[in-house]
Chains A and B, each alone.
Chain A
């Protein structure tokens, strides 16, 4: 048997190519096949003919494939819409965008959100819902160095007043106790967090009795004396300098408490409290921790 003539084969294929696109479209329900793909079902390549919107019968050329797409009549469109999934997608505007990625707006990223049109819309859409839903940004939030927001801890006025007195007397940190300016102490906010936790889990209130073992200059004691105004707050410190500084701070607080008692302009729950005392001694002299309900020890630093 003589070998197949390649020229003849080209001629055959050219005959198929010569077939009118309309016919091809009708045969494949709006999908025109390329001739060499039509022979193999597995390698079938689909050339999508875009159906123009209703009222426009002008054929549309698929630019990607570089071939003339079929011209489609309204009857074809009806038929295609009922049978073919790919052509059903064409009537969907979203699907059309997927077919033409060139016309699609660029994806919005945080970096181009402010510059592109879509980005502006995206940015507005991202911001406005929270406003519309009434989720207003809480005023009690604080932005940290790298943009993270943390909830600000609410402190009572009398607590702030007492810390201000202590700071005025001893400076912001440690009060130069025991030959050095710094020793371990919590920030005002962290101490308030601890107090809140104690209130939540242990019922720390105005009937509680609180002791700080190694009280230093006594900030935790003064704190719980103000909030939640415990019945008795006691600090025991064996380092003389720190105890003396604590005593001096307590003296100022008691003076302030005397002033606040007479001042009618200050609300009752914001007046400076006084149920606090500092002891100079070694905890090892005590046998037990009675009568204290809360034994606190800042055992580090």
Chain B
């Protein structure tokens, strides 16, 4: 059926709208592309073809290798692609590992892992304690305050 989704959403006679989301939403793809082009990471591994990644979303990439894979349960097959940043030089990766900046979102986790097993275990145990042992049910506003529910748009906070 050829129909406009907007009409479907505003129609009183539809009780259920089924959507098969096959991929990340386009908005996220655009963000990922921009973030990738800003960062200096050398390799990207994903399950979308070069046409989507390079032509559609303008990732600064070139294809290195691809391999067929199968999914758990349904055995549905998908091809995995390995890309590298365009024009990657041979010694780039070693230099990047030695002297790379760290985004603030990942900094804390990186430091935890580098601190060793005991420190990491303590931190994880504490997080599990916080998120798995609820004394009583939480309202949505309290959960949002505690960070249990995330606002999906970071700008709306």
Residue ranges of A at the interface with B (Cβ–Cβ < 8 Å): 172-174, 182, 184-187, 190-191, 193-194, 197-198, 200-203, 207-209, 211, 213-214, 232, 234, 236, 238, 240, 244, 247-248, 250-251, 254-255, 257-258, 261, 274-277, 279-301
Contact of A293 among B32, B41, B47, B152 (CB under 8 A): B41
Contact of B117 among A203, A236, A261 (CB under 8 A): A261
Residue ranges of B at the interface with A (Cβ–Cβ < 8 Å): 22-24, 28, 31-32, 35-36, 38-48, 64-65, 67, 69-74, 76, 78, 80, 82, 84, 93, 96-97, 100-106, 109-110, 112-114, 117, 120-121, 124-125, 127-128, 131-132, 147-150, 152-154
Q: 30 interchain pairs (CB within 8 A)?
A: A182-B73, A184-B71, A185-B72, A186-B72, A194-B80, A197-B67, A201-B64, A202-B82, A214-B24, A234-B106, A236-B105, A238-B150, A240-B150, A247-B128, A248-B128, A251-B125, A274-B113, A282-B154, A283-B32, A284-B154, A287-B35, A287-B105, A288-B40, A288-B103, A289-B35, A290-B100, A291-B100, A297-B32, A298-B46, A300-B47
Least CB distance, A66 to chain B, in whole angstroms: 64
The A interface, classified by DSSP as helix, strand, loop or mixed, is mixed
> Other CB < 8 Å A-B pairs besides A202-B42, A250-B124, 5 of them?
A186-B72, A193-B69, A197-B67, A290-B103, A299-B48
- Given known pairs A186-B70, A277-B113, A279-B105, the reply for A290 and B41 (CB within 8 Å) is yes
Contact A194 B69 (CB under 8 A): yes
Least CB distance, B83 to chain A, in whole angstroms: 9
Contact B69 A238 (CB under 8 A): no
Least CB distance, A252 to chain B, in whole angstroms: 10
- Given known pairs A254-B124, A277-B120, A288-B35, the reply for A202 and B84 (CB within 8 Å) is yes
Query: Please, how many angstroms separate the alpha-carbon atoms of A290 and B101 in the complex?
Result: 6
Measured between beta carbons, the chain A residues less than 8 angstroms from B31 are 283-284
The B interface, classified by DSSP as helix, strand, loop or mixed, is mixed
Contact of B97 among A197, A200, A207 (CB under 8 A): A207
Contact A186 B69 (CB under 8 A): yes
**A186, A277, A285: which has the most chain B beta carbons within 10 Å?**
A277
Contact of B47 among A191, A193, A275, A299 (CB under 8 A): A299
Query: Please, how many angstroms separate the alpha-carbon atoms of A240 and B35 in the complex?
Result: 23
Contact A300 B78 (CB under 8 A): yes
Contact B105 A295 (CB under 8 A): no
Contact A286 B80 (CB under 8 A): no
Measured between beta carbons, the chain A residues less than 8 angstroms from B78 are 300-301
Select from chain B the residue with minimum beta-carbon distance to A225.
Answer: B113
Contact B131 A194 (CB under 8 A): no
Contact B47 A258 (CB under 8 A): no
Select from chain A the residue with minimum beta-carbon distance to B121.
Answer: A254
Contact B110 A234 (CB under 8 A): yes
Measured between beta carbons, the chain B residues less than 8 angstroms from A261 are 117
Measured between beta carbons, the chain A residues less than 8 angstroms from B35 are 283, 286-289
Least CB distance, B134 to chain A, in whole angstroms: 11
Measured between beta carbons, the chain B residues less than 8 angstroms from A198 are 43, 45, 82
Measured between beta carbons, the chain B residues less than 8 angstroms from A190 are 69-71, 80
